[in-house]
Amino acid sequence: MASKIADVIATERTALKETGGVTDGSIATNVKPLTPRSPADVRPERITSRDPDAFPAVTGREEEWRFTPVDRLRVLLDGAPSDARLQEKTELPEGVSLREVGSDDPLLATVPDPVDRLSALAMRNADGAVVISIPADAQVTAPVLVDLRGTGQAEVIWGHVVIEVGRHAKATVVFEHGGDARYAACVSVLVGDGAHLDLVSVQEWDSTAVHSQHTAIRVGRDARVRGIDVTLGGDVVRLVKTVEYAGPGGDAELLGLYFADVGQHLEHRLFVDHAAPSCRSRVTYKGALQGDSARTVWVGDVLIRAAATGTDTYELNRNLLLTPEARADSVPNLEIETGEILGAGHASATGRFDDEQLFYLQARGIPADEARRMVVRGFFADVINEIGIASLEERLLAAVEAELERTKL
């Protein structure tokens, strides 16, 4: 055990060294940070609340907003209620049910609270929720498909979706987002004891869409959840994902892939809160950026509380800058309140396109543009191959392929 602790400390030290002594764990971004880092050693207590006014007004200077172009989210932050909805198409395999509930439904009282002002606004303004239920012990092999499409409405669309997975059930839920919308949502995910959920969210919005979402996952005892974000389109996409464990033995694997083009801001913020013993978490996000002002943000926070002995966690973020004007921010942050853990670590790197890889492939006769595509495909392949759902892997490879087609490498 002592050596594990030493490993953790060494990892932290390295991170500190690489960031020049600041403690938020920022590593290897493309250029100097736009905003000064917080001087505090310990991040302030996290606020969770259903009341938007429990959170300070958003100026862009707050820790959780400092990377976000809040002006482009202003229409959401204004918080005007609306009845607008996304076009919904669902495929529900046998045994899976979908219902709409009012805001006074007792189920909604049990879901995790929002973590920032915008997610609190979304939960309040959604005024009820769509509930997808997978009954206990159900083994649903076909994926539950939810296709959400914006039709260009100017009003903000507020959404709240609850996914309930009964104990020992197994299911895959896939969200696909497309079209043009201003969409702010909460997705509450309740994974019962011993259940297994694969939750995929694909963002292929039009280049004008704005999407903000808080996905709150509660992992039951000995349950397993895999969350997979694939973000390829949109003007601003800001996805916050939080994981809490309702009991020991939970396992959360969070995978992500993003590809930012000219002018896009794609932000993924993760917070894994280890409060129960013997839980595991793995976070692996990879992004590629190309073009002027293409921007990505990845913030990976892991907190290991004193009670969370036997925790095993690792988070990784890699960014590939295909053009020099793009900018990726990567901020891993690990807080550890107990030494009695199995392992904890993080890694982050942001690099430019490797000309040596290009030379090697070209020296085997492969033309330059094809060689570049091979390298980018290869960069994402290990995330995609982790998914383990063949049909989905093919679909995502095709999506990356389409993205590469649109991209002049």
Partner 1 sequence: MSTPQNRAAGSVLSIRGLEVAVEDKTILRGVDLTVRSGETHAIMGPNGSGKSTLAYSVAGHPKYTVTGGTVTLDGEDVLAMTVDERARAGLFLAMQYPVEVPGVSVSNFLRSAATAVRGEAPKLRLWVKEQKEAMARLEMDPAFAERSVNEGFSGGEKKRHEILQLELLKPKIAILDETDSGLDVDALRVVSEGVNRVRESGESGVLLITHYTRILRYIEPDFVHVFIGGRIVEQGGKELADELEANGYAKYGAAAEPAGKSLPMGPVVPGAVTTA
Among 120, 371, 392, 399, binds partner 1 (CB under 8 A): 371
> How far is it, in rounded angstroms, from Cα 345 to Cα 14?
11
Q: In the set 366, 389, 397, 409, which binds partner 1 (CB under 8 A)?
A: 366
Q: Exposed (0-12), middle (13-18) or buried (19+): which is 40, by Cβ within 10 Å?
A: exposed
Written in H, E and C, the secondary structure of 180-245 is: EEEEEEEEEEEECCCCEEEEEEEEEECCCCEEEEEEEEEECCCCEEEEEEEEEECCEEEEEEEEEE
Contact status: 364 vs partner 1 (CB under 8 A): yes
Q: How far is it, in rounded angstroms, from Cα 302 to Cα 338?
A: 13
Does residue 379 bind partner 1 (CB under 8 A)? yes
CA distances from 312 to 209, 284, 315, 340 (A): 37, 14, 11, 10
Binding partner 1 (rule: CB under 8 A), the pick from 306, 367, 388, 394 is 367
Interaction between residue 362 and partner 1 (CB under 8 A) = yes
Total residues belonging to the chain: 409
333 contact partners, CB below 8 Å, separation of at least 6: 24, 25, 43, 299, 300, 301, 302, 346
Cα 83 to Cα 126: distance, rounded to the nearest angstrom? 8
* Minimum CB distance to partner 1 smaller for 309 or for 357: 357
Indicate the residue among 302 and 383 with the shorter CB distance to partner 1.
383
Q: Identify residue 154 by its one-letter amino acid code.
A: A
Binding pattern to partner 1, positions 342-361, x when CB under 8 A?
Answer: ------------xxxx-xxx
Site string for partner 1, 110-149 (x = CB under 8 A): ----------------------------------------
- Of the residues 375, 392, 396, 404, which one makes contact with partner 1 according to CB under 8 A: 375
Asked if 292 touches partner 1 (CB under 8 A), the answer is no
Q: Does 393 bind partner 1 (CB under 8 A)?
A: no
Cα–Cα–Cα angle for 320, 326, 327, nearest 5°? 80
- The DSSP-derived string for 369-383 is HHHHHHHHHHHHHHH
Q: Does 325 bind partner 1 (CB under 8 A)?
A: no
Among 381, 389, 397, 409, binds partner 1 (CB under 8 A): 381
Binding partner 1 by CB under 8 A: which of 306, 307, 368, 402?
Answer: 368
Question: Is the Cβ of residue 278 or residue 317 nearer to partner 1 in the bound state?
Answer: 317
By CB under 8 A, residue 43 contacts partner 1: no
Of 378, 388, 391, 402, which lies in the binding site for partner 1, with binding defined by CB under 8 A?
Answer: 378
| Nearer residue to partner 1 within complex by CB, 370 or 394 | 370
Compute the least distance from the CB of residue 357 to partner 1, in Å.
5
Residue 363 interacting with partner 1 (CB under 8 A): yes
Decide if residue 390 touches partner 1 (CB under 8 A): no
Residue 338 vs 362, nearer CB to partner 1: 362
The Cα diameter of the chain in Å comes to: 66
Q: Tell me the H-state helices in 29-105.
A: 70-77
List residues binding partner 1 (CB under 8 A). Answer: 354-357, 359-368, 370-371, 374-375, 377-382
